[in-house]
């Protein structure tokens, strides 16, 4: 449990950094940058909890999430260029973040008692909607609509987790397997430039 | 009651198709298209329920809504060109969808106990906000701000429904009358290119 | 209490007018203009209450808010040119509006029992998110990301209010002091064109 909590804070921290780094293409002051990091980090989980009616929202009930985000701001500022150069490392961090958020979100939805189909959506939303809200606010094309495999890796992981769960697989094993699956799909997709087929004929 | 439920699912199906068809102008993969259909179909009702604090949201508590949306995706894909050519039929379907969603939303808000003014807004929101959220995500001008008579037809229908309701008119008769009113306003507006007056002088 | 309520309605009225006035740059019909005023006026408070899980939302439980917004529409229409010329007066009204909404929102969040850090965010959100949602819908750059000092004045006021509150300062005195602080920061920032430092190096 404490391990999950530590990972959740780590994921929040990573998401805040990757959110703030999108600021590079836009002119934003310190407050705008902090807001961008904040929305990216807590947007997905907040939307999930609002859709589930599950209160209090994580960051409203536990200020550690805010503190971790506030910590990410000066750190991103100080290591701006280093972080920008570390694109491969960042990709790995971001991928671990979405993988982790997907599974925590899926589990949380299941615990609230919703059907597996709904839980899969909640898991995917936990991981991607923070970025989608951020992109919408800065008038960018939401990640969800970009060509890369991103949301679909989360969805595949959530479905795997739910399938193994319904087969009675041990929770910890299931978590690790599904986590590795999401990370692998995403990394392979970036490496080999894989895409889902276009819908339009 | 079962008839209302069947219509609600039919409206969801229609909204999903009309949402997915907007994809034609945008490049989207299968997951993006599904997401677009999903948001269009459940966005308005979800926003209404969140504003009312009425949980669980329809699609969270009953997976039939999700199944109907998932069914709409391959069907839209298979009949893409036929659907595009059937613009007049589609308009009729979409109009029946917004009319139905408006009245179901207005009724639901009334049942929760809000004032008629608030119920009218909730009815209109049920019908149009799914499309507004979709348009915002794909950086399009929201339907609400386009010149055509769309939201105003819903609002007129909601107000009619509420007026007749307060006069004690039988619920079924009221529903049918208000439904026909919304559909008529919308169809006539499209046919004769009617618009509300511009606000700017 | 009645004074606070009167001010809250006055703030709602002011926000609706300033929202409707943004219509000048966009083509909108009467319903679109009303919707824009509505979203600007109630968006921030609604988001705060949804994030806090505090139901019913103000305007859902008390139709006076809607009536005030509906009143703002014809008044803005009638005095369009006068209002546009009164930019300095409008700025003052808008500034009083955000100052007031910030403190009412901060107080409400505290009363719900959240931590001060969270209350500060809720206060700022109450004041600015209506405008942010409006800007997002009309595909404008959200106020939060513009160069002017706006959200930061609200945040400074919320933090001041919370600090004085934790020091045991009398509520009324605290309210007035924090209100004047927000108004002063905003007016001085506009007058001397002050900005927060850019995040990007």
**Are B137 and A139 inside 8 Å of each other by CB?**
no
CB–CB contact C29 B132 (8 Å): no
For residue A190, is pLDDT > 60? yes
Is residue A103 within 8 Å of residue A173, measured between CB atoms?
A: no
Residue C23 in contact with partner chain B when CB distance is under 8 A: yes
Kindly determine whether residue C141 and residue A136, on different chains, have CB atoms separated by under 8 Å: no
Minimum CA–CA partner of A45 in chain C: C51
A2-21 helix and A87-112 helix, angle to the nearest 10 degrees: 130
What would the mean pLDDT of C51-62 be, rounded to a whole number? 97
Selected for mutation to probe chain A from B20, B21, B24, B32 (highest A CB count within 10 Å) is B32
Would you state the pLDDT for residue A25?
63
Question: Left (φ > 0), alpha (ψ -120 to 50) or beta: where does C168 sit?
Answer: left
Q: Which residues of A touch C52 (CB under 8 A)?
A: 55-56, 60
What span, in angstroms and rounded, lies between the C-alpha atoms of B149 and B187?
Answer: 9
Residue C5: how many other CB atoms lie within 10 Å: 12
Among candidates C94, C148, C95, C153, which has minimal Cα distance to C124?
C153
List, for residues A46-81, the tens digit of each pLDDT value: 999 999 999 999 999 999 999 999 999 999 999 888
Altogether, the residues listed in chain A come to a count of 201
The pLDDT of residue C146? 79
Percent of chain B with pLDDT over 90: 67
Residues in chain B within 8 Å Cβ distance of A51: 46, 50, 57, 60
Report how far residue A58's alpha carbon sits from residue A54's, in angstroms, rounded to the nearest whole number: 9
How large is the C-alpha radius of gyration of chain B?
16
Which of A50, A152, A199 lies nearest to residue B28, judging by beta carbons?
A199
Taking an 8 Å cut-off on Cβ atoms, the answer to whether C151 and A31 are in contact is yes
- B77 vs C126: CA distance, rounded Å: 43
Higher pLDDT, residue C118 or C141 = C118
Would the CB atoms of C200 and A50 count as touching at under 8 Å?
no
- CB-CB under 8 Å, C27 with B200: yes
Min distance C120 CA to chain A CA atoms (Å): 11
With an 8 Å Cβ cutoff, are B27 and A147 in contact?
yes
More confident residue, C138 or A178: A178
pLDDT on residue A41: 96
DSSP string, B122-136: HHHHHHHHHHHHHHH
Full 3-state SS string of C151-166:
HHHHHHHHHHHHHHHH
Query: Quick check: A35 contacting C, CB < 8 Å?
Result: yes
Q: Which residues of A touch B26 (CB under 8 A)?
A: 145
- Whether residue C108 contacts residue C122, with contact meaning beta carbons closer than 8 Å, is answered with yes
Q: What is the CA radius of gyration of chain C?
A: 16
B148 has which bridge partners?
B195
Q: Tell me the nearest-neighbour CA distance from B180 into chain A, angstroms.
A: 32
Is A1 a residue whose pLDDT tops 60?
Answer: no
Are C200 and A138 a contacting pair at CB < 8 A? Answer: no
A120 and A158 in contact (C-beta within 8 Å)? yes
A-B CB pairs within 8 A amount to 74
Q: Smallest Cβ distance to A63: which of C53, C115, C195?
A: C115
Q: Helix, strand or coil for residue C111?
A: helix
- C66-102 pLDDT, tens digit per residue, is 999 999 999 999 988 888 787 777 788 889 999 999 9
**Residue C195 bridge partners (DSSP):** C148
Distances (CA, A) of C124 to A45, B79, C105, C117: 20, 49, 8, 11
C28 touches chain B (CB under 8 A): yes
Tell me the β-bridge partners of A148: A195
- Chain B nearest-CA distance from C36, in A, is 9
Q: Which of B4, B7, B9, B129 is nearest to B66 (CA)?
A: B9
Chain B nearest-CA distance from C14, in A, is: 18
Closest CA to C50 of C117, C107, C113, C126: C126
Residue A101: is its pLDDT beyond 80? yes
Q: Does A139 touch chain C (CB under 8 A)?
A: yes
φ, ψ for residue A198 (rounded to 5)? Answer: -65, 150
For residue range C120-137, list pLDDT tens digits in order: 999 999 999 999 999 999
Q: Is C167 exposed, middle or buried (0-12, 13-18, 19+ CB in 10 A)?
A: exposed
Q: Any chain B CB within 8 A of the CB of C25?
A: no
Q: Do C145 and A139 touch (CB under 8 A)?
A: no
Considering only CB atoms, B50 lies closest to which of A50, A139, A145, namely: A50
pLDDT, tens digit, 9 for 90 and up, residues B168-195: 999 999 999 999 999 999 999 999 989 8
What's the CA gap between C18 and C26, in Å, rounded? Answer: 14
Does position B144 have pLDDT exceeding 70, yes or no? Answer: yes
User: With an 8 Å Cβ cutoff, are C139 and A139 in contact?
Assistant: yes
Report long-range pairs for A86-91 (Cβ below 8 Å, ≥24 apart): A90/A17, A90/A18, A90/A21, A91/A187, A91/A190
Beta bridge partners of C29: B198
| Residue in C closest to B150 by C-alpha | C31
Distances (CA, A) of C189 to B34, C153, C195: 46, 9, 7
Determine the pLDDT at residue A24.
65
Subunits in contact with chain A (3 or more CB pairs closer than 8 Å): B, C
Q: Which of A57-61, A139-143, A192-196, B25-29 shows the lowest mean pLDDT across its residues?
A: B25-29
User: Alpha-carbon distance C113 to A63, whole Å?
Assistant: 13
- pLDDT at residue A201 in the model: 63
- Is the predicted pLDDT of residue B24 greater than 70, yes or no? no
Which of C27, C60, C66 is facing B198, going by the closest CB pair? C27
Q: Is B57 on the interface with C (CB under 8 A)?
A: no
């Amino acid at each position: 449990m404490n391990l999950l909590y530590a990972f959740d804070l780590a994921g929040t921290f990573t998401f805040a950094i990757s959110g703030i780094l999108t600021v590079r293409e836009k002119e934003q002051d310190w407050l705008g940058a902090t807001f961008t990091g904040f929305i990216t980090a807590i947007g997905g989980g907040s939307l999930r909890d609002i859709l589930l009616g599950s209160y209090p929202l994580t960051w409203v009930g536990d200020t550690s999430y805010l503190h971790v985000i506030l910590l990410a701001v000066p750190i991103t500022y100080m290591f701006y260029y280093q972080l920008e150069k570390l694109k491969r490392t960042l990709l790995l961090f971001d991928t671990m973040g979405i993988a982790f958020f997907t599974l925590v979100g899926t589990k949380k939805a299941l615990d609230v008692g919703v059907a597996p189909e709904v839980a899969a959506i909640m898991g995917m939303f936990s991981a991607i909607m923070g970025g989608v809200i951020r992109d919408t606010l800065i008038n960018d094309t939401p990640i969800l609509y970009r060509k890369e495999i991103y949301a679909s890796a989360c969805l595949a992981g959530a479905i795997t987790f739910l399938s193994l769960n319904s087969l009675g697989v041990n929770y910890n094993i299931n978590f690790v397997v599904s986590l590795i699956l999401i990370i692998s799909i995403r990394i392979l997709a970036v490496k080999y430039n894989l895409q889902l087929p276009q819908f339009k004929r």
